[in-house]
A = this chain, B = another copy of it.
Amino acid sequence: MDIVDLSTLPEQDTRYDEFLRQVCDKYEMDHAAYAGMNPAAGTIHGHVTYGDDWKAHYQEQGLHLIDPTLHMSQRSIAPVDWSRLERGKDFQRVFRDAHDFGIPDQGITIPVRGPYGDIGLLSAVRECSRDEWKKLVPNVISDLQSLAVHIHDNVMTSDTISRMLYHPTLSSRELEILQWAAAGKSQQDIGDILSISHRTVEVHLRSSREKLNALTTPQAVGRAIGIGLIYPG
């Protein structure tokens, strides 16, 4: 999964970066970041107010693969305060590096999910005392929640992103066969059910995997269910 820095795209205007800077100003944050991803499409894209040096380092090192703020937020419904993250190996790695670039480990990430498996993460960080932080968060969390929805909604409906996060369109045959696979049928079974060769079934499963960016059929079934394309058998 590669990172795409949207600010480097020629056709991309800078309103998102400005938007994030305004968020910082208004809510007394040092930095703000938005990351959008679609596991099914295998994409990550982001806007940040961090310096270019940190952005470069983050991408070069592939820190997005281990970043605990991303991992945790992807599995949460509610906002995640970074103080609640596990202080594991990955945490040490990412935040030690971040510290070198002057980025604090005090922050919050708000996850927003769309209907196609897309996830938007709005993060805000601030270097200050623990007490100060604990007073600040309750006052801004509600607004940040709304802003997170707003920015993710905008990003997902913009042409630039929808081209990148194209949600997979499986053919009716592919969906039909994937649905039978989710129902526990073997390729041979499905072939018998649909009166086609099990070879053909395998072809459709393969194209389904490719479209869903899945390595295996179990993963494809999981993705398809997560997106709502099929139902659990």
| Alpha-carbon gap, A156 to B228, bound state (A) | 18
Are B226 and A117 in touch, CB under 8 angstroms? yes
| Alpha-carbon gap, A181 to B182, bound state (A) | 14
| Alpha-carbon gap, A75 to B232, bound state (A) | 10
- Across-interface contacts of A142 in B (CB, < 8 A): 142-143, 145-146
Complex copy number for this chain: 2
Are B113 and A182 in touch, CB under 8 angstroms? no
Are A222 and B232 in touch, CB under 8 angstroms? yes
Q: Using an 8 Å CB-CB cutoff, how does the interface string of A42-83 with B read, 1 for contact, 0 for none? A: 100000000000000000000000000000001111110000
With A40-B225, A117-B226, A117-B227 known, 7 other A-B pairs at CB within 8 A are A39-B228, A40-B226, A217-B218, A222-B230, A222-B232, A225-B232, A226-B232
- Give the interface of A toward B (CB within 8 A): 39-42, 74-79, 112-117, 141-143, 145-146, 149-150, 152-153, 156, 181-186, 214-223, 225-228, 230-233
- Across-interface contacts of A149 in B (CB, < 8 A): 77-79, 145
| Alpha-carbon gap, A153 to B76, bound state (A) | 8
Would A74 and B232 be within 8 Å (CB), given that A40-B226, A184-B219, A216-B184 are in contact?
Answer: no
Among A42, A75, A182, residue most surrounded by chain B Cβ atoms (within 10 Å): A182
Are A39 and B232 in touch, CB under 8 angstroms? yes
- Across-interface contacts of A214 in B (CB, < 8 A): 184, 233
15 pairs of residues in contact across A and B, judged by CB atoms under 8 Å: A39-B231, A40-B225, A40-B231, A77-B115, A112-B113, A141-B146, A142-B146, A182-B219, A182-B222, A183-B219, A184-B219, A217-B218, A221-B222, A222-B232, A225-B225
